[in-house]
Amino acid sequence: MNLKFRAKDYKSDDSFESAEYEYFGNETEGWEIKRNGQPYLHLGPGYIPLKTISCGVCSTDIDRRFLPFPLPQIIGHEVLAEGLGENQGKQFVVEINDTYEARGDQNPDQFCKEGIPTHSPERRVLGIDRLPGGFGPYILAPVHAAISLEGVSPKAAVLMEPFAAAVQAILASPPKSGDHVAVLGPRRLGSLILAALASYRKTNNSDFRITAITRHDHLVTLSKSMGADEVVDLRKTDINNLKGQFDIVYDTTSTTSGFESALQIAKREVHLKTTNGQVMAGIAHLTELVVDELSILPYSDANALFHWKKENRKNQTVFVFAGVSEVIKENLKKQFTVFEGSSSDAENILNSEKFSNRLPRFDLVVVSNPEELSLSIRPNSNHENSLVRPRGAILVDTTKGNQWTEETKLVSKFFAEGKEIHSSRCGDFHMAISLLRENPEITKALETNLISHRFPSDQLELAYATAKDPSSVKVVVDFN
């Protein structure tokens, strides 16, 4: 098959330019992608061509220039598409991770064997990392990432990727009975998290309270429609009056000020769902923290046993930075295989025979200051590998408060009070589709309330600019 078309690439200066693309190949032999007549990307077997119907504009798209992936690129990853060839007439939503598992490759890497295929360093990401995205008329999707849309309306389907991500946040940080939780920034993803919280509460017959926190009239109304029990308007309520009031704060603001507010008003936990690729509260690589779905916890014996709730593995290997107290080091050595030193020492260990035939990451990393925290997430500017395994934890030695700077005092105080930061990224489309099928009122709420603007594909720049405006909620680009 040969597909030739023009699309608008996103550039590092936050602008778009037209480019000519050509996809030629097939599912069994692989594909070659050319851009303006030059080789752009080679894909092996396991991809099917789809024709884009519509694609939503996400906060990640708006902040794409800050992410550590090459540009220019056709961006867009919230895709509703229709099949070509033997799939003609079928509609699909598309999971964004291009992995061994998604392609049906029979030779998976260690990340697939560990049950975390979407965290493999070899993966590409639709519309984010190399694989051309949904703001073009055609995409190439890994065969198992194209999910049939039977039973869900197309109006709700374009929201499937962010809704699945919202459900993932609730599964990673589930409220307890009696909790009071808050969604900070209930706009695009935040509104979906409100819907996910409301459906989770209904399904589990729980009794936690849901508060939305915003400063925009249209989001006050929207939040109530999407499941919030109450809404706090920050134009009328000082954020300082909310300190320590909410057991869990789901921060979807993608701003430094929003993250700092979340740290102040959380009683137990901040769930960081989206970031802007920049340093926040003096901590670097928080975007990468979300990409790897890592947690940052104060050191304790209980937190040394941390793993995601659906995992049944046990922590075995721990890396401890040199500045961590000797008491913690000795305590860890009673339970785990402990390595210590600098970030370069850690990388050398992970590349040594000690980690051959196993996941090249530590189960836990323990730090004593903000520099070590940042290095745990991304120790080397030459690659995107963390020291700690995806969905693992970085533990903070809170006895070393004197090693934290004035800029990071807020974070230091947060951990010293025993509070935690968790994060999550993509969700399970099958679970999200099932949830929408079982809860038609949620589907109706999504269809009715979330899509504020629609633009034809030849007005992509206007759609993108509109999505930046706080008055918009979800902007969708249509190709039909």
Half-sphere exposure of 415 (CA within 13 A, CB side): 27
Q: Tell me: pLDDT of 340 over 90.
A: yes
The average pLDDT across 301-318 equals 92
Global pTM value:
0.90
Which pLDDT tens digit goes with each residue over 126-177?
999 999 999 999 999 999 999 998 778 888 889 999 999 999 999 999 999 9
Q: Tell me: pLDDT of 302 over 80.
A: yes
Which pLDDT tens digit goes with each residue over 65-94?
988 899 999 999 999 999 999 999 899 999
Which pLDDT tens digit goes with each residue over 423-440?
999 898 988 888 888 788
Half-sphere exposure of 287 (CA within 13 A, CB side): 18
Residue that the structure tokens 């500017």 belong to: 381
Q: Copy the structure tokens of residue 196.
A: 């996910």
Beta strands in 342-419 (DSSP E): 362-367, 388-396
Which pLDDT tens digit goes with each residue over 437-456?
878 888 888 888 899 999 99
Distance CA 179, CA 116 (A): 30
Q: Tell me: pLDDT of 103 over 80.
A: yes
Which pLDDT tens digit goes with each residue over 375-402?
999 999 888 899 999 999 999 999 987 7
Q: 129 forms bridges with which residues in the sheet?
A: 125
Which pLDDT tens digit goes with each residue over 399-415?
987 788 888 999 999 99
404 burial (CB, 10 Å; 0-12 / 13-18 / 19+) is buried
Answer with the residue of higher pLDDT: 266 or 86: 266
User: DSSP letters of 148-168?
Assistant: E-TTS-HHHHTTHHHHHHHHH
Confidence of residue 4 (pLDDT cuts 50, 70, 90): very high
Asked if residue 143 lies in contact with residue 103, where contact means CB atoms within 8 angstroms, the answer is yes
Domains of the chain: 2-158+450-478 (3.90.180.10), 160-273+424-434 (3.40.50.720), 281-408 (no CATH)
